[in-house]
Amino acid sequence: MRIAVTGSSGLIGGALVRSLRADGHEVVRVVRRPSRSGNEVEWQPNRQYVDVAGLVGCEAVVNLAGAGIGDHRWTDAYRKEIRDSRVLGTAALAEAVASLDTPPRVLLNGSAVGYYGDTGDRAVDENAPPGDGFLPEVCVEWEEAAAPAQEAGVRTAFARTGLVVAREGGAWARMFPLFKAGLGGRLGDGRQYWSFISLHDEVAALRHILDTDALSGPVNCTAPDPLTNREITAAMGRVLHRPTLFAVPAVALKVVLGDMAGDVLGSQRAVPAKLLDSGFSFAFPGIDAAIGAALR
């Protein structure tokens, strides 16, 4: 199968590309520069430009591009970058897909459990409405931007991903060194739920969505049983054999992170109802196993 992938240099995109190529699929990387080979397609998401000719023959398009949520303090300029990198890029790609004489059979677009906002201890599946705040607003616009592909009859799915447990990137890449040094601890009161997923299961879930014609719309890519930050902190100490005595007070997070602190301290208890109902099986459903897999 010929599959186009944006965000292929990121944590999830890179792992997905490796997995697809290992199984013999032809992967076309969608890159932000002139293409250097037949396996690359140029796009400029902020200018909403895609070299449409490079998508010809693709049976699937996967869009995982977007500025890192936790890479910078949320200034007004960086909020705009977070939004534009997702919304404008998705709109450009969806319009390019819709313009093809023979469009791909599926567009798998990134999204996030941030869609639900702070859900407290209430479990939410894909039928839950969006929450309030910056990230839910971005996620709503992000998903709506794929409308041209949907209107063209392309099966469109949104991978609402949780916190990916991996050493190579994301939140856990920052956490592992702290916990290994014995400096890890809960954030705030630790009661906020974290919807996590191992990198292995994230890639497997994306491939399952690509291969399962019955899956469309939002699909939560999270482990079956979200845990609180306090429980995950204990698991990190348990697996790494380190103490977890330190705690970061909520007020300190607000000083350091600014507006982003609300999302760090917020609670998302998202469950993967659609994945489970479609027969998907998690290799590392528990947090201890997910941490262990990341370390290996």
Three-class SS of residue 107? strand
Distance separating alpha carbons of residues 198 and 289, to the nearest angstrom = 9
pLDDT score for 254: 57
Distance separating alpha carbons of residues 100 and 97, to the nearest angstrom = 6
Encoded tokens for 21: 């190529």
Is the pTM here over 0.85, yes or no?
A: yes
Cα 254 to the chain's mean position, in Å?
A: 24
The H or E element that residue 233 is part of is: helix 229-240
DSSP structure string for 168-212: SSHHHHHHHHHHHTT--EEETTS-SEE-EEEHHHHHHHHHHHHH-
Distance separating alpha carbons of residues 200 and 257, to the nearest angstrom = 29
- The CATH fold assigned to 2-295 is Rossmann fold (3.40.50)
pLDDT in tens, the chain (296 residues): 999 999 999 999 999 999 999 999 999 999 988 888 879 999 999 888 999 999 999 999 999 999 888 777 778 898 999 999 999 999 999 999 999 999 999 999 999 999 999 999 999 999 999 999 999 999 999 999 999 999 999 999 999 999 999 999 888 888 898 889 898 888 888 999 999 999 999 999 999 999 999 999 999 999 999 999 999 999 999 999 999 888 876 665 555 445 555 665 689 999 999 999 999 999 999 999 999 999 98
Give percent helix, percent strand, percent coil of the chain, each to the nearest 5.
45, 20, 35
CA angle 144, 147, 151 (to 5 degrees): 155
Encoded tokens for 159: 């991978």
Query: Contact at 8 Å (CB) between 70 and 115?
Result: no
CB-CB neighbours of 77 under 10 Å: 8
Query: Contact at 8 Å (CB) between 172 and 239?
Result: no
DSSP structure string for 61-97: EEE-----TTSS---HHHHHHHHHHHHHHHHHHHHHH
Residue 94's identity, in one-letter code, is A
Distance separating alpha carbons of residues 43 and 36, to the nearest angstrom = 13
pLDDT score for 55: 95
